Amino acid sequence: MADIMQTYQALCDHAREAAMVESIRAVLGWDEQTYMPPQAGDYRAEQITWLAAASHRRRTDPRVGEWLAACEDSELVEDSHGDSATVIRELKRDYQKRSKLPQSLVEEMARATVLGQQAWVQARKDDDFASFSPVLTQIIDLKRQQAEAVGYEESPYDALLDDYEPGETTANVHRVLSSLREDLVPLVAAIAESSTQPEVEILSRSYPVALQKQLGEQVSAQIGFDFQRGRLDVTHHPFCSGMGPFDCRITTRYDEHFFPMAFFGILHESGHGIYDQGLRTDFYGLPPGEFISLGIHESQSRMWENQVGRGRAFWQYMFPTLQETFASALTDVTLDQFYFALNEVRPSLIRVEADEVTYNLHIIIRFELEQALIQGDLQVPDLPAAWREKYREFLGIEPPSDADGVLQDIHWGAGLIGYFPTYSLGNLYSAQFFAQATEDLGDLEDMFSRGEFMPLKHWLQEKIHQPGKCYRASELVERITGQPLSHEPLLAYLRAKLEPLYGIG
């Protein structure tokens, strides 16, 4: 057993060193999206390519295979959900998958996606898809090569989806999202036909950016984001990046005349950050100290943004502070008016600003377009037209420009193909988890109305954050809620909130 423990320790040390390389890459990626000067882009691509190659060499070192082979039939794997078994199982999975990828493809992908993100920033600024099209064409080709190298059973998209939602399949996601869409469409229609509508101009009054930043940081800290282990900055497209066990960066963007953009962006990214900060630091770089999947990660951000932040109880507590902070904008506004405005349901162009109901339609559009691109059924130059057609079909609207259409998300320029469906999975997970938290903790709404957010945070840490990757997402949902993932809790939550507001149901 002593020899096995030495082998296991060598495996863990090696994985932690690879994680350190990847954390350095994360720092450079964060800097690229926040403070990097424009002329530094090409060299930054070379830096990140070098780090990606170094990480790949370490992750696919033949010694990793030897260490895993020595450990996988030992006493270390007796408890299949234990820490040591999780380390061995997940590192083996990662080793086998990465070993199928040629070093040259890894380097080319790293370089192309850094340059792709930079090209996206300029293309969106200029509303110029044509300038972005060749870059995206190259990225799609590389992602097809990745899918073929890794392998798949039914769809090449499966191989890419697995990067973000391990074990999930395109067919199952399609089934879940199709069921969700079938129930969302009539709800959207009923709301649209209601004679009761919110006064949304409230949200477009003057909300000075400096005050938004001050309030955003205050609320982020109140719900549990630790600014001694993280910070908030400005970027083109909000994100959260974990750079080490005590370093988590969140970002947002501001609009003086649209309050929800930054406020809910901060709540959303704070939810991601609280998850990262809730992982076990003593296992940083190893699977028990890593998040399970992006769908589970998204459930944490969406819960704080929506179930908490768009709830009436939250604003019962927060609205007096908001009125004091933005006195000129809100002196004539009541709590009920503001709460209704925040929960408006209306088809809109921009995904990150979409309401809780139509948001999932934005995701389904991207999910379908991604599959078509990877399968070769849609060519990149034809993407803007396909995008406009989907928006007419799903939401009854059409973007007036590509900047507010096909260029609105950074994901494709960053090579994140297979990422989008995890957003809707996160919505489903969040509703199911929140329902269980309410059952376990009691009246969460009463707690929120008094500004008490720590009971929920601690419940999430215990149930979701601390286990790391000891369970698959599907296993974790059943372990916590006693039920497989379902769209019913999300629909029940949406109906309970929106039917009284709109006088329907």
What amino acid positions are annotated as catalytic residues? 269
| Amino acid symbol at 371 | Q
Beta-ladder partners of 249: 231, 241
Distances (CA, A) of 245 to 20, 23, 279, 332: 10, 10, 8, 45
CA 468 to CA 486: how far, in whole Å? 22
Question: Phi first, then psi: what are they for 244, rounded to 5°?
Answer: 160, 175
- Per DSSP, 249 falls in state E
CA 491 to CA 505: how far, in whole Å? 13
CA 98 to CA 223: how far, in whole Å? 37
CA 164 to CA 39: how far, in whole Å? 32
CA 98 to CA 480: how far, in whole Å? 31
Positive or negative: CA dihedral 140, 141, 142, 144: positive
Contact 429, 298 (CB under 8 A): yes
CA 96 to CA 107: how far, in whole Å? 18
Distance of CA 16 to the CA centre of its chain: 24
Helices (H) and strands (E) in the chain, counts: 21, 3
353, with CB counted inside 10 A (0-12, 13-18, 19+), is middle
Longest dimension (CA), the chain: 73
End-to-end CA distance of the chain: 64
CA 212 to CA 199: how far, in whole Å? 21
The DSSP element (H or E) to which 242 belongs, if any, is strand 240-244
Look at the block and give the residue holding tokens 């990067």. Answer: 163
Look at the block and give the residue holding tokens 């030495």. Answer: 6
Per-residue H/E/C for 280-298 = CHHHCCCHHHCCCCHHHHH
By three-state DSSP, how is residue 379 classified?
coil
The DSSP element (H or E) to which 234 belongs, if any, is strand 230-234
Sheet holding 240-244, edge to edge: 230-234, 247-252, 240-244
The residue count of the chain comes to 505
